[in-house]
Structure 1
Amino acid sequence: MGMNATQLIKMANQIGAFFASQPNAAQARADFAVHLKKQWDPQMRVALYAHIDASAGEGLSAFALEAMRDQRAEIEPVAKSA
């Protein structure tokens, strides 16, 4: 099941809109990261980072992009070494 960047961006923006309403911005970004790590398949997270790296995060909300960058170490799956 491949997901294209457009679908991933839409989902990340919807999740971001929910967390962005929290009063503490740093906590909101951390909670966003936890949600993606728990709910999103590793391939989805890899694909969204590929999009961010290729296009500077085109289409992502300011909150979602900032959270993705700020929390990259937390969200991005670690490549499994063979």
Structure 2
Amino acid sequence: MNTEHLVKMANQIGSFFSTMPDRDQAIADLATHLKRFWEPRMRKAFLEHIEKTQGAGVDAIVLEAVNRHLQQLAV
């Protein structure tokens, strides 16, 4: 799985949700989006990338969503 592509996609999704006025809701919705629309292999590869690189290249809102909703995304 190309992690650079996953990071790019996650950042694009994060950019969309960052425009929402309620940041907490944006973070929850971002995590829900990743859970619903990314297959488990994609989420696993993305979470492994974050763990190995301390989130290198991943936007702050995406990292916050992952950190707050890690259990939901890891399933």
Which residue does the alignment assign to 2:35? 37
Q: After TM superposition, what 4+ stretches of structure 1 lie above 2 angstroms from structure 2?
A: none
Gaps of 5+ in 1: 78-82
Q: CA RMSD in A?
A: 0.8
Q: CA deviation at 1:49?
A: 0.6
Unaligned ranges ≥5, structure 2: none
What one-letter code is carried by the residue in structure 1 that aligns with 2:58? Answer: L
Which secondary structure state, in structure 1, belongs to the residue aligned with residue 9 of structure 2?
helix
> How far is 1:75 from its partner?
1.4
Whole-Å Cα distance in 2 between the matches of residues 74 and 27 of structure 1?
Answer: 15
DSSP 3-state at the match of 1:44: helix
Q: How far apart in 2 are the matches of 1:45 and 1:57?
A: 14
The Cα of 1:6 is off from its aligned counterpart by: 0.1
**Count of equivalent residues:** 75
Structure 1 or 2, whichever has the larger Rg, is 1
Which has the larger helix fraction?
Answer: 2
Using the size of structure 1 for normalisation, the TM-score is 0.87
Identity of aligned residues (%): 45
User: Match for residue 80 of structure 1?
Assistant: none
Using the TM superposition, give the Cα deviation of residue 71 of structure 1 relative to its aligned residue in structure 2, in angstroms. Answer: 1.2
The CA deviation at 1:69 is: 1.1
